[in-house]
Amino acid sequence: VIANIRYLDKQLYKPPPELRDDGGFGTQILGTSERFLQAGSSLPLVCVVTHTKGAPTAILWYHNLSVVDYDSPRGGISLQVEKTAQQTTSRLILSSVRDEDSGNYSCVPVNAPKSTVQVHVNSDELRAAVHQGGINSGSTVATQHGTAYSRSLILTILALARLTAG
């Protein structure tokens, strides 16, 4: 029995998965929590749900507050799901993104915690290039976003390669 718990203790102590109240699940969208894209490019989102008590019965993707409609008139939306004994991977890919694709994207497994990323689609080619680190503007913020985007892209590619190889 643990007694006299303080708020700070909650942040320092993380119980083992079998004692957590999240049903034994962990959810993560790979890469950074904020993405910057140029209009017309593709947006790959990879959500990994780890589980100790069996796979979630379903994984839903949300754009802001609406469930992503894979058959919408927008087109260019694909979904792939892979399940193993320890994890379920859901890949949402939006091709030819546009301004209205900006917003929050959430991976929401049934009976498990969700994971969310924020996406910014920029139709201004110059500003998008600055955000992606393609132009040396002298702006530290723009360079940080470009580095984060590049790191996110590399991690996503490595994760996809590892999943397809195994």
Domains parsed from the chain with CATH numbers? 18-123 (2.60.40.10)
3-state per-residue secondary structure call for 75-131? CCEEEEEEECCCEEEEEEEECCCCHHHCEEEEEEECCCCCEEEEEEEECCHHHHHHH
**CA 105, CA 132: separation in Å to the nearest integer?**
20
Structure-token pair, residue 152:
């996110």
Quick check: 166 pLDDT over 60? no
Per-residue pLDDT at 123:
84
Per-residue pLDDT at 9:
46
**CA 133, CA 121: separation in Å to the nearest integer?**
15
Contacts 24+ apart (CB under 8 A), 61-69: 61/90, 61/92, 61/105, 61/106, 61/107, 61/108, 62/104, 62/105, 62/106, 62/108, 63/101, 63/103, 63/104, 63/105, 64/103, 64/104, 68/92, 68/105
- Which residue type sits at 65? L
Per-residue pLDDT at 136:
39
Selection from 43, 36, 68 nearest residue 143 by Cα: 36
Q: Which tens digits make up the pLDDT trace of 13-67?
A: 444 444 444 456 799 999 999 999 999 999 999 999 998 788 889 999 999 999 9
Residue with tokens 């780890």: 50
C-alpha separations of 153 from 12, 156, 161 in Å:
31, 5, 12
Per-residue pLDDT at 59:
96
Question: The pTM is what?
Answer: 0.62
Give the other-Cβ count within 10 Å of 93's Cβ: 14
